[in-house]
Structure formats: structure tokens, C-alpha cells
Amino acid sequence: MCGIVGITSKKGAGVLKDLISSLTKLEYRGYDSAGIAILTDKGIEVIKGVGTISEVVSRALDEIKDGSTGIGHTRWATHGEVSEQNAHPLLSCDRRVAVVHNGTLDDFEKLRDRLMAKGHRFSSDTDSEVIAHLIEENITLHGDIVEAFVKTVMSLKGSYAVAAIIQGYNALLVARNKSPLVVGLGNGENYCASDVAALLHKTNRFIFLEDGDIALVTPDTVKVCHLTSTGEALSVERGIELIEWSPELLSRGSYEHFMLKEIHEQPNIIRKIAENLNYYRKFAEALFGYLRDGSLSIVAAGTSYHAGLIGKYLFSKMLSVRSEVIIASEFQEWSHHLRKGDIVLAISQSGETADVLEAVRIARSRGTRVLSLVNVPGSTLTRLSDEVAYIQAGPEVGVAATKTFTAQIAVLYLISSIMKDLNEGKIRENTERSLLSVSKILNGQLDEFKRRSKDISERIKHKKNAFFLGRGINFPTALEGALKLKEISYIHAEGYPAGEYKHGPLALIEEGVPAIVLVPYDEDLRRKIIYNLMEVKSRGALTITVQPDNVDVPTDFAITTDSSVGELLSPLIYAVPLQLIAYYTAVSLNRNPDKPRNLAKSVTVE
Ligand code: G6P
């Protein structure tokens, strides 16, 4: 879960500043340490250390010489503690090779022992360092630099996105397997990065490498070869794709944090999705057709998993279609029943979550069809899928997903509505209208939600535990509310189906424990949840409700919303105050909501 970047330019000098700004845009992938290596006329210069990118590289402009080619890395530790030695780039013994790596190498101990027996000295505890020493070793053996790199990659097992620079050679040598890596195309310079976001300020033309690809990237050319299962490296052509995200989307603007900016973007994103109903028709038709042949399994992780649960509810309620939702990391063990013709619907913001990709590979090996809902264009998941629909939320930088959650729900609602029309052989006019009205309501209520959420955050910020209770379609919203609060404020929070709560967690309720209850629009469900609410209230809980504005609920604090929204679309509204409560609690506790400790935006390790 690291970010890597590389630039090679024929200008002769001057890549350092661009490297730093690209690396800064990757910071959401990891932020415990960072580093840069530059190819200069003096050799390879390296600056690295523990801390944020700005803390580490602010020294770079003064301390190291600029050059024509460089690589950078932002780390989220997997092998080896967080320390300056373990920060990337990592060097060979002769300091003529520097590498950055994202992923985890299998059996690297064997490679390291073999290299050490040949006299190589290691300066870090990382698996990644073997790559630098292997390249050095292979240059000695084969002479040719490209051949040495290819031979090195051939001996790696596991997941890797690697970029290497070699003294005297103005180019980037890159390779990928099960970790994301794109090549960007500029004028008189070319780039590589873990994702397009790092390079949008330089280019919108990209080559998306496939697993098993190795590329030689010079300032003017990109040559790609592919490692076959028989160990050959065959030359291949990879197409150039244009990405339409503008670099401005990656700026925080006047907002204090990306998370707040992204919360604010939600009404517009929901409107855009509603207006693009026809774009989702092809996807919905494909899914509708496939459902005749097989069963539907939804697979996702984190927040996308919660959106998947809402999808399951919509498919069941609107279409009477049975589906299951499998947590991506558990997929292998819970999917033995899948057969040829079954359907896997993968939901992922990044399209790079390793567990989701692995689940999809397993599913494909069993002959299932794979459809996916993705946010990041060109991501690996899109290339493993038979059909893709983009949720069109624009780049999300805050580690805690917000706008992509509501965008996923809006798209799932649209798809379910289109499939319902197909099922009933008629086209209802109100699908687009109801989403547009949600967007309008949200827009109108955001300021009030912010005000109320801020007040609530002051009441809960010193609590140790909090509980989020929901029923029906808002049970997953409760799970998401708890996830938001715990991940950015570090207050322990649990989401629960309100009716199940009495079978255990009720024992944890004592004076002042916050219980955040999502009050259903549906009258029968509401009656039941009010009973659940009374249960916790009478045991001393501090009750906070999110509810329609036309109902009377006995609660300490209420956040109300327009009663016209209706049950099926209520998660789109209810999610927002929960995001804001988490946001203001984190800010009030002086915790950076954009970079929660130990977490990363794109989890590219299993
Ligand atoms: C990480 C992120 C979450 C995200 C999850 C799944 O844990 O911090 O915000 O929900 O990964 O990511 P995906 O990109 O597959 O939706």
C-alpha cells in the first residue's frame, strides 16, 4: 500500500520538483515514510526518511542535486518497521541501482540469503531491497541493463510494481504484477506511477500495464514486453488511453480537508449520475440478461462492501432477485458453490484492492462472469471484468470513502430501477426524478447537517464507544457510520441491526454511551426501532437519531431530513450526517481525517 512514481526527461535536469508534486498526490496511498532518488551527473542521489512527504522532501531541494530522471516512493510499511533505512528508494551495494517497490515479494528470504552468500550487503529489513541487488548482480552477469532488469523480474514472485533507475542510463525500468502501475506519456518526458492521479498535472495520456508486463521508459519511447508463463519476454503493444479527470479535481480548494470537500461534492455527483441514466442502461441490461443463467454474488471490501449490502437489499426488494455479498478477503473460502454462468458483481472505488482483484481472479477461474462498478478509470479491476460501469464520482483523496459510497448506492439504485423496468416491460419516468430530488434535498440540507453534526461531535468526542443502529436498508448505513467514526476519530464504534442488538451488545450500554439510531421511513420498521431506541435510552444511552422530519421520536438529539425521500433512497441522505459526525469528531480531537493512522486509501496487499 505504497505509492511509486518515476519521471524521465531529456531536458537534462529539473525533474525533482515534478517528482515531489507527483509524490504528494500519492500520499493517500501511504504516509509513514518517503523518499526520492535522482540520476545526476554525480551518480544516484537519494533523500529519504520517516514522516510525511513534505517533511521528508522539503529537504530535497536544498540537499540533493537535480537530474534528468528520478523515482519516488511513499511508504505504508508491510515488511520492516518504519525507519529511514526501510524507506525507499533502496540501493544496490555499488549505489548504481535504485528501486522503489509497491507490493510484497514471496520467498524473498531465499533470494536475500543467496545474494548475501555472494557478498551483497543489505541495509534494510525490506523484501524490496533484493530487487536492487538482483539488478546489480544481473548487470555483472549479463552486461546489458535491460536484460539484467528482465532477468531480475523473472526471478520475482509475489506482487510488485517496481521502478528502477540505473546510473548512466537515462530511463525508467518498470514492471508490474498484481500491484498497480501506469505509464504516462508527456512531451520529451515520460512517467510511471501507481495511479493516474499522480500524473494528471503532467499528462492525460496513459498506458495501463498488465500483470506480467515490463517496460523500458525513456524520455521519447515506451517499449513493453510481457513475461509468458513459459518464462519468455515477448514484445507487446499496449494502447494509449485518454483520461478525462482534470487536475483541479485533485485540489482541496478552500476546504480544510479533502474529506469535507468530498462530502460537499455528493449532491452534484448524485445529480450527474441521475442525468446519465442511459449510460448505465447497457450495464443493467447485461446484468439482467446474465441473471437468467446464474446466481449473483457481490464482492467488495470496506465501504464498498457496505454499498454491496445495500445493493443486495435493492435487488431483493425491487426485483425479487436473490444475491449474496461476500467480503473480498473471505471470497476464496465462501465461494465454493460458484459455477460457470454465475455472476460476480465486484464493487470497488479504486479498482485496485488486492482482495477484490484476487476474488475476481478466483471467480474467473471458476467460469463466472464478472461485472464491476468502479470509480478509477483504467484500474486493474476494469480490465478483469466483462462489463464495467463507472460510478463517476471523480478522484477521491480522503482515505475514508464518502462520495464514492453514495455514488455506488445511487448507481445500484439506477441499475435496479432499469432492471425492474426490463422485468415489467415498461419504462418508469420517475427513476431519474427521484435521484434528482435527493440531490436537491441534500444540497439544501447540507449546512444544517453540518451545524447539527458539529454539535453532536462535541457531545461524543470524549466517549470510548459508540453504537450505530439501523434496520432494513439502513442497517448497512449504520455499519458505514460506525466505520467512518472509528477509522478517523479512533473512537470504538459498532454498527448493528437494531433488532439484533438485544442479543449481546445491549450489555455494553451504560450512562452516556452514544447510540446513533437511523429511523426508518417505513412505518412498521419505525415502530420497531422506536422500541429498540427506548431499550437503550432507558439504560442511559445518549440517543441521537437521523430521521424523517414528520415523525416524533423520543430522542436526545435529532437530525431531520425531508419526509419525501422514502425508504429506498434514504441511505443517500442518512450517510451524510454520519460522515459529518465522524469528520467533526476527528477534527475536534485534532486527528487528520484525510490520513488516519495505519490506514491507506488503496489497499494493494492481501
Ligand atoms: C480501504 C479504504 C476504504 C475503502 C476500502 C475498499 O480500506 O481506506 O475507504 O472502502 O479500502 O476500497 P475499494 O477501493 O476497493 O473500494
The per-residue pLDDT for 12 is: 67
Q: How far apart are CA 556 and CA 568, in angstroms?
A: 26
Amino acid letter at 461? K
**Per DSSP, which regions of 358-513 are E strands?**
369-374, 387-390, 465-470, 492-497
Q: Sign of torsion, CA 520 526 531 534?
A: positive
Per DSSP, the three-state class of 61 is helix
Q: Is 301 in the pocket of ligand 1 (CB under 6 A)?
A: yes
Q: What are phi and psi of 521, to 5 degrees?
A: -75, -35
The per-residue pLDDT for 330 is: 96
Q: How far apart are CA 597 and CA 66, in angstroms?
A: 32
CA of 230 from ligand 1 middle (Å) equals 35
* Catalytic annotation, residues: 2, 601
Q: What is the pLDDT of residues 411-435, one digit of tens each?
A: 999 999 999 999 998 877 788 999 9
Q: Is 8 in the pocket of ligand 1 (CB under 6 A)?
A: no
Q: What is the pLDDT of residues 295-347, one digit of tens each?
A: 999 999 999 999 999 999 999 999 999 999 999 999 999 999 999 999 999 99
Q: Which residues contact 101 (CB under 8 A, 6 or more apart)?
A: 2, 4, 73, 88, 90, 126, 127, 128, 131, 160, 161, 162
Q: How far apart are CA 213 and CA 236, in angstroms?
A: 9
C-alpha cell at position 204: 492525460
CA of 76 from ligand 1 middle (Å) equals 15
Q: How far apart are CA 339 and CA 360, in angstroms?
A: 13
Q: Which residues contact 113 (CB under 8 A, 6 or more apart)?
A: none
Q: Which residues contact 573 (CB under 8 A, 6 or more apart)?
A: 438, 441, 442, 445, 561, 562, 565
Q: Which residues contact 217 (CB under 8 A, 6 or more apart)?
A: 6, 8, 171, 172, 173, 174, 183, 190, 191, 192
CA neighbours closer than 13 Å in the CB half-sphere of residue 76: 23
Positions in the chain whose pLDDT score sits under 50: none
The per-residue pLDDT for 13 is: 67
Q: What is the pLDDT of residues 576-590, one digit of tens each?
A: 999 999 999 999 999
Mutate to test the pocket of ligand 1, among 602, 604, 606 (most ligand atoms within 8 A of CB): 602
What is the b/e burial string over 27-53, where b = at least 16 CB atoms within 10 angstroms of the residue's CB? bbbbbbbbbbbbbbeeebbbbbebbbb
Q: Give the whole-number percent of the chain exceeding pLDDT 70.
A: 99
Cα 113 to the center of its chain, rounded Å = 35
CA of 378 from ligand 1 middle (Å) equals 17
CA of 498 from ligand 1 middle (Å) equals 25
The per-residue pLDDT for 604 is: 73
CA of 215 from ligand 1 middle (Å) equals 28
Radius of gyration of the chain (CA): 25
Q: How far apart are CA 267 and CA 435, in angstroms?
A: 10
Mutate to test the pocket of ligand 1, among 259, 304, 305 (most ligand atoms within 8 A of CB): 304
DSSP secondary structure, 2-35, as one string: -EEEEEEESSSS--HHHHHHHHHHTGGG--SEEE
Q: Is 356 in the pocket of ligand 1 (CB under 6 A)?
A: yes
First to last CA, the chain: 10
- Give the residue among 565, 460, 466 at the shortest CA–CA distance from 509: 466
Q: How far apart are CA 584 and CA 457, in angstroms?
A: 6
The per-residue pLDDT for 598 is: 83
The per-residue pLDDT for 427 is: 76
Task: Count the Cβ atoms, other than its own, within 10 Å of residue 417.
Answer: 24
C-alpha cell at position 179: 500491484
Domains in the chain, CATH or no CATH each = 3-248 (3.60.20.10), 252-428 (3.40.50.10490), 444-596 (3.40.50.10490)
Instruction: Say whether pTM exceeds 0.85.
Output: yes
Q: How far apart are CA 316 and CA 319, in angstroms?
A: 6
Q: Is 408 in the pocket of ligand 1 (CB under 6 A)?
A: no
Inter-helix orientation angle 403-424/430-460, to 10°: 150
Q: Is 380 in the pocket of ligand 1 (CB under 6 A)?
A: no
Q: Is 486 in the pocket of ligand 1 (CB under 6 A)?
A: no
Q: Is 350 in the pocket of ligand 1 (CB under 6 A)?
A: yes
